[in-house]
Amino acid sequence: MGGFGALFLALLGCRVDLSGAGPAAPVAPVAEAQAAPLYQQLYEGEQGEPARSVGQRARMLIWLGSVAFTEPELAALRSLAVTARADAAAAAARGEAARAAEAALVPTLQAIADRFAAPPAPSEAELAELGARLSAARAPFADPRAETWRALTAQLTAAESWARTLPAERQERLADARFFLQHRMGALVAPGAYTDWLGTPWNGSDFGALRVSAPPSNEPQLNIGGLWAADVLGHGPDQRIRGTRLAALLVLAFAEPGLLEAIDVKLGARGVADYGEPVTPR
């Protein structure tokens, strides 16, 4: 069956069998969701608020528990998350200032648009003149992305150094942060990132098949519900997520809203239901 046919049947709620026997009878989505293992349901995520924020809270706490961090490791993780949050706030402020300042470019950009709107096409001399005008107009503005790049580079270095201090088993589990980053690097959200991190160009519907598959009886309690056990089918242990790729994944996790609060819950600095101010300043 072709990819389009499989997608069409999936949209109809059919369980697709590519062995040649054809699709089984349609299954009601609600009944299917009720039968799905908990972690696979959580991986699918939520679309609106406040469900998504609370779902993220659950996913983050599951991830933190599955890695089994020690308290000093959690404290170091918290420090990295604090830095990431501060860097994100500074980057947002720089971007806002840059957007406001760039209003001064409008007259020059409008002149360029007007010239290209009227025939004949600009000559080489006119193109050079327009380029010089735009360059002069941009001269007073610093590129806010340069400082953001420096901050991200520092975060990547710090994340990779911290990850290397962990025992090998916990280093392997760090990559399960994908559990709560699906909305940023899922197959349908960011196909390039999905392929780069997973190492295989799978379709966006592939993990959806897990919702109708019975987990093996010997499945570990937490490989985040076995969602990532399929990694070994695409590549060997020497190609697992580690090094700079793992650091990049961690930087995404550090910047995710709610992670800092979830760490505080694990450290006992917040009540389980309190994602407001910390119970104890840290």
CA distance 252 to 40: 21
Residue for token pair 């389009």 = 4
Give helix 124-138 / helix 106-117 axis angle, nearest 10°.
160
Higher pLDDT, residue 114 or 191 = 114
Per residue in 136-159, pLDDT (tens digit) is 999 888 788 888 889 989 999 999
Largest Cα separation within the chain, whole Å, is 74
Confirm whether pTM is higher than 0.85. Answer: no
Residue 104 has what pLDDT?
92
CA distance 186 to 194: 6
What torsion do the CA atoms of 246, 252, 254, 59 make, to the nearest 10 degrees?
-90
Residue for token pair 């360059």 = 135
Q: Give the number of C-alpha atoms closer than 13 A to the C-alpha of residue 113, restricted to the C-beta side.
A: 6
Look at residue 66 and tell me whether its pLDDT is greater than 80.
yes
Domain ranges for the chain: 1-35, 36-95+145-267
Higher pLDDT, residue 14 or 53 = 53
| CA gyration radius, the chain | 24
Higher pLDDT, residue 258 or 238 = 258
CA distance 134 to 128: 10
CA distance 160 to 256: 18
Q: What is the mean pLDDT of residues 64-71?
A: 92
Measured between alpha carbons, how far is residue 236 from residues 69, 147, 152, 200, 201 in Å?
26, 37, 29, 12, 16
Token output for 198: 């997973």
Look at residue 257 and tell me whether its pLDDT is greater than 60.
yes
Look at residue 71 and tell me whether its pLDDT is greater than 90.
yes
Beta-carbon contacts of 218 under 8 Å, excluding residues fewer than 6 positions away, are: none
For the chain, report the end-to-end CA distance as a whole number of angstroms. 57
Look at residue 180 and tell me whether its pLDDT is greater than 80.
yes
Look at residue 11 and tell me whether its pLDDT is greater than 50.
no
| Portion of the chain with pLDDT greater than 70, in percent | 63
Measured between alpha carbons, how far is residue 124 from residues 93, 100, 115, 120, 128 in Å?
39, 32, 13, 12, 6
Per residue in 196-217, pLDDT (tens digit) is 555 444 444 444 433 333 444 4
Tell me which of 62-76, 103-117, 208-222 is least confident: 208-222
Measured between alpha carbons, how far is residue 250 from residues 10, 119, 147, 174, 261 in Å?
33, 52, 20, 8, 16
